[in-house]
Structures are given as structure tokens and as C-alpha cells.
């Protein structure tokens, strides 16, 4: 009994010391005004709704919020206004006016283009210039911008079904970004789970909307901390746990950046494992499905390939260093694969990379990035990039023998 009593006394002392230490820690953090992160709702919201002008969406994960407006200053600078139907564009009549050629453009942040003023976006420039060629002479041109930050092909397919078809476009352009669109299409590769995926069931590609039941704070699998597994009431009333959550989250964010960079590099290589092979197969099947649904509605389909910034860097030595240091055999492997997908499934593909690289090299200019934010030659298109993209699309569409 003596040993048990001594053990109980020691345990009691240890627990008392622990409780006292926690209490002192809680009081000390509060007196020092050191704050951490509560469990809900801000951390999760920043993940599933990537911009101040987006909102949660039951089918697409997030979407542009109708009527939202404000300044974007994180990369580039512009005033963003979302119209009544969730487009960063002016309002268009649902019914297509007579003598009008209407184009719907689906894409991610490159198409939304919050980094540049609305009149510099390639969709706006295209709307102004396309009527200059003989093929569209006398036609009213409308180019509707359905771009949304962070979208992959799966979300664009759902947008096509839910938002685009009612406008009865004559042409649908899907803007595909080399840097992350293949990754976005794979539940096994993408880190943000607060989005729909398409998965194979009995050999058929079907939508998976399981994100609807996902707590907001768990949307990114790489940013779930140890503290997130504890009860909400405990975390939200403990300054120690909140500080621990903040510290671990910063650590995880740094690791996520490294992980994301490595994934992006893998896009340039022929897939070796089953996850990447499936990601490419899903991508091909989604594009095939989109092209077929557009054609079934009597419209034309064009896949436009947006290059990764390193593919079109103005400095050849920088491109070569990126290629060699990352053990990439062919810097244009994904572009060639997408063109092969188009050829195999009978839809045209416009690869912007060759002309972007030639223009950047010849003129020694950066088509990506912004001097103000010190991101020159990286990130999204600047105004020069958007104008060149519009010019290349115009050249493609004005050809009389392109099937469009």
C-alpha cells in the first residue's frame, strides 16, 4: 500500500505541476498579447475561397461572388468587379443578340486576370480586335470571361454545364495552364480538397462531390495541424493550443511550398507512377468530354495552352538551368502531350508557348510578372502577356482553314 500511496502522491504532484504550468502559460501569453489561430472559421475560409471576391459553391467548391468589388494588390494591381452572374466582365444578355459571334472562355486565374485592369485582360482585348479580320467583318463580337481563381478542368467542366451553356456560345475556349492544371485534376495529387474531382467508377469518369461534407478547416490536407484534431471548444479557449497551431501551420506552409514546387516540376516529365498516369488520363478524358459536350450543342471548341513562366523566360540560360537542375529531358513535354490529346480526340489546340518564348527572347521582355511586386518573369501575365495572347488567339481564329 505504501508504494501505491507514494505513486499516487507523485502522480498528483506531477499533474498539479502540469496544470499550474499550463495556467501560468495561458496567463503569460494573454498578458504578453501573443495570439495564435483559433480553429474556425478564418483559416479554412482562406483555403476554400482563395480570393476576397469568391464564395463557397456547392458544386464547384468556390465561385466568383456576384457583385463583389475591390482592389487586388497581391501581384500586379487592379480594381476587380464581378458582374451579376459571377463573371469578371460586363453584363451580357442571356439571349444572344442577332449577328453576334459569342465566345465563352473557361480558365483559372490567368483568365480571371485580377493582376491587370479589366481592359488589359486578353478576353477584353480579343473582343475589341477580333472583328478586324475578314472572317468576322460586320459581326458583333462578344467574349465572355468565365475565369475563376484556382480552377482546374473538373471545375471548368461543371462551369460549362451550369453557367456557359445558357449563353449559347458559338465557340468555347478552355485555357489550360501547364503549371498546375494536371495536378488540379487529381484527388491524389492536389492538396486542396475543397473542390470537386472526377474519379473512375466502373471504368467511367464520374463527379465526386464529397467535399460538400468536408469541414472548411480540413480542406487542405497538408495544412491540417495536430491541434486541429482536438475539440473545437478546447482549442478556441486555449491560448497555448492556438499558438502551437499557428507555429505548426507556418512550418507546414513552408513544406507545402516545397512540395508544390516539386509537383509542378514533375509536370514536365513523362509520368512514372500510377498517380501521375491517372492524373493525365483524367485530364484527357475531361478535355474529351468538354469538347464533345460543346460540339453536341452546335458550338466549336478550342484548347489553349498557357505556358509555365520558365518555358517562356526571356533568358535562354535561365531556361536551361531550370531544365538541367530539375532533370527535365523535354521542357515542352506537357505541351506536346496536350496537342497529341487534341489530335487524338479531334479538337484544335493552340499552344502559346513557342510564340511567347520567341517574343520574350527577341524583345528581351518579361511577359509574366510585375515590377511593382518584384515578380518579373514569374507568376501571371502582365499587360504585355495578355495583349500577345489576344493577338495569337485572333490569328488562330481568323484563319479560314482551322475548323473553327
- Residue scoring higher pLDDT (236 or 297): 297
162-186 residue pLDDT tens? 999 999 999 999 999 999 999 999 9
66-112 residue pLDDT tens? 999 999 988 888 999 999 999 999 999 999 999 999 999 999 999 99
260-299 residue pLDDT tens? 667 778 999 999 999 999 999 999 999 999 999 999 999 9
> What per-residue confidence (pLDDT) applies to 223?
60
pLDDT of residue 5 exceeding 90, the answer is no
110-153 residue pLDDT tens? 999 999 999 999 999 999 999 889 899 889 999 999 999 999 99
pLDDT of residue 225 exceeding 90, the answer is no
pLDDT category at 65 given cuts 50, 70, 90 is very high
pLDDT of residue 53 exceeding 90, the answer is no
Cα separation, 30 vs 24, whole angstroms: 10
Cα separation, 379 vs 115, whole angstroms: 10
Residue 176 phi, psi dihedral angles, 5° rounding: -110, 120
Question: Are 60 and 207 spatial neighbours (Cβ–Cβ below 8 Å)?
Answer: no
pLDDT of residue 44 exceeding 70, the answer is no
Grid cell, residue 398, equals: 481568323
pLDDT of residue 235 exceeding 90, the answer is no
375-398 residue pLDDT tens? 789 999 999 999 999 999 999 999
pLDDT category at 45 given cuts 50, 70, 90 is very low
pLDDT category at 372 given cuts 50, 70, 90 is confident
- Residue scoring higher pLDDT (259 or 151): 151
Residues sharing a CB contact under 8 Å with residue 372, sequence separation 6 or more, in sequence order = 76, 77
> What per-residue confidence (pLDDT) applies to 52?
78
Amino acid at each position: 500500500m505504501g508504494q501505491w500511496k507514494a505513486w499516487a502522491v507523485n502522480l498528483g504532484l506531477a499533474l498539479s505541476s502540469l496544470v499550474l504550468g499550463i495556467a501560468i502559460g495561458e496567463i503569460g501569453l494573454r498578458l504578453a498579447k501573443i495570439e495564435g489561430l483559433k480553429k474556425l472559421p478564418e483559416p479554412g475560409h482562406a483555403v476554400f475561397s482563395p480570393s476576397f471576391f469568391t464564395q463557397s459553391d456547392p458544386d464547384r467548391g468556390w465561385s466568383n461572388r456576384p457583385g463583389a468589388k475591390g482592389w487586388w494588390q497581391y501581384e500586379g494591381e487592379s480594381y476587380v468587379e464581378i458582374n451579376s452572374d459571377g463573371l469578371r466582365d460586363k453584363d451580357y444578355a442571356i439571349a444572344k443578340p442577332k449577328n453576334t459571334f459569342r465566345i465563352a472562355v473557361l480558365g483559372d486565374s490567368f483568365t480571371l486576370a485580377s493582376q491587370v485592369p479589366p481592359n488589359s485582360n486578353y478576353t477584353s482585348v480579343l473582343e475589341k480586335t477580333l472583328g478586324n479580320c475578314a472572317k468576322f467583318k460586320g459581326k458583333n463580337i462578344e467574349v465572355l470571361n468565365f475565369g475563376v481563381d484556382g480552377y482546374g478542368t473538373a471545375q471548368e467542366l461543371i462551369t460549362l454545364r451550369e453557367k456557359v451553356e445558357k449563353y449559347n456560345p458559338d465557340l468555347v475556349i478552355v485555357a489550360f495552364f501547364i503549371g498546375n492544371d494536371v495536378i488540379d485534376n487529381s484527388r491524389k495529387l492536389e492538396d486542396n480538397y475543397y473542390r470537386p474531382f472526377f474519379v473512375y467508377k466502373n471504368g467511367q469518369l464520374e463527379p465526386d462531390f464529397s467535399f460538400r461534407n468536408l469541414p472548411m478547416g480540413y480542406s487542405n490536407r497538408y495544412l491540417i495541424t495536430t491541434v486541429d484534431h482536438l475539440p473545437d471548444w478546447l482549442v478556441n479557449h486555449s491560448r497555448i493550443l492556438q499558438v502551437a497551431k499557428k507555429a505548426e501551420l507556418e512550418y507546414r506552409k513552408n513544406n507545402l511550398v516545397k512540395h508544390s514546387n516539386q509537383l509542378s516540376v514533375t509536370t514536365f516529365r513523362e509520368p512514372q507512377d500510377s498517380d501521375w498516369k491517372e492524373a493525365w488520363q483524367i485530364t484527357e478524358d475531361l478535355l474529351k468530354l468538354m469538347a464533345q459536350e460543346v460540339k453536341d450543342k452546335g458550338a466549336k471548341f478550342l484548347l489553349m495552352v498557357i505556358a509555365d513562366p520558365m518555358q517562356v523566360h526571356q533568358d535562354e540560360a535561365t531556361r536551361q538551368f531550370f531544365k538541367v537542375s530539375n532533370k527535365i529531358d523535354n521542357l515542352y513535354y506537357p505541351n506536346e502531350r496536350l496537342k497529341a490529346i487534341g489530335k487524338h480526340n479531334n479538337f484544335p489546340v493552340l499552344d502559346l508557348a513557342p510564340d511567347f518564348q520567341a517574343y520574350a527572347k527577341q524583345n528581351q521582355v518579361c511577359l509574366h510578372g510585375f515590377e511593382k511586386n518584384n515578380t518579373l518573369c514569374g507568376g501571371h501575365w502582365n499587360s504585355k502577356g495578355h495583349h500577345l495572347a489576344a493577338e495569337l488567339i485572333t490569328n488562330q481564329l481568323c484563319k479560314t482553314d482551322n475548323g473553327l
